[in-house]
Amino acid sequence: MNLDSISIFAPDLAQEIPPDPILAYVSAHHEALWHAARLLGGYESARLVDRCAELLAQDRRVTSRTRMMLDQILAMLSLEEVDNPNLPYMGHFAVIDPLDPVVEEICLLTDGLRHELARTVSEALLRPDA
């Protein structure tokens, strides 16, 4: 009997563990999220995006703290608090031309983040160890 020395467990065939969808999304869209946050809420909002991205990269998972930050980012992107006079969003939003292509990009970022957050919640509910 002649055994072939090629193993199906060769390192180049190893499957990579898929990254958390939120980590992948924030990593892939970090710059766009940062600019959208700066446009809609100023540099304080942009720093929120940076801090959230840093914590996600450090923890390699969504924690309660990063989930709260992601919810704040989503609320800002979706203009949930745009009419709150105690928050800076109204002033920033008012200077954006509705015909500016950045509006469409912000909408796409918002939809993408909302989708990934919903997907993460769905997957957590389906996981037996959750």
Q: Is residue 12 part of a domain?
A: no
Which tokens is 78 given?
Answer: 């979706």
Confidence of residue 6 (pLDDT cuts 50, 70, 90): low
The answer to whether 39 touches 96, Cβ cutoff 8 Å, is: yes
Instruction: Give the separation between CA 69 and CA 48, rounded to whole angstroms.
Output: 7
Determine phi and psi for 55, rounding to 5 degrees.
-65, -40
pLDDT value at position 82? 72
> Tokens 């600019």 appear where?
35
Which tokens is 102 given?
Answer: 């950045």
Q: Is residue 10 part of a domain?
A: no
Instruction: Give the separation between CA 101 and CA 28, rounded to whole angstroms.
Output: 20
> Tokens 């105690």 appear where?
86
pLDDT value at position 95? 80
pLDDT value at position 15? 46
pLDDT value at position 93? 74
Q: What is the pLDDT of residues 52-107, one digit of tens each?
A: 999 999 998 899 999 999 999 999 999 887 777 777 666 777 788 889 999 999 99
Confidence of residue 14 (pLDDT cuts 50, 70, 90): very low
Mean pLDDT of 107-116: 95
Q: Is residue 80 part of a domain?
A: yes
Percent of the chain with pLDDT over 70: 74
Domain of 55?
A: 19-126
pLDDT value at position 17? 46
Whether residue 130 has pLDDT greater than 70 = no
What's the structural domain count of the chain?
A: 1
Distances (CA, A) of 75 to 13, 37, 55, 66, 78: 41, 11, 19, 14, 5
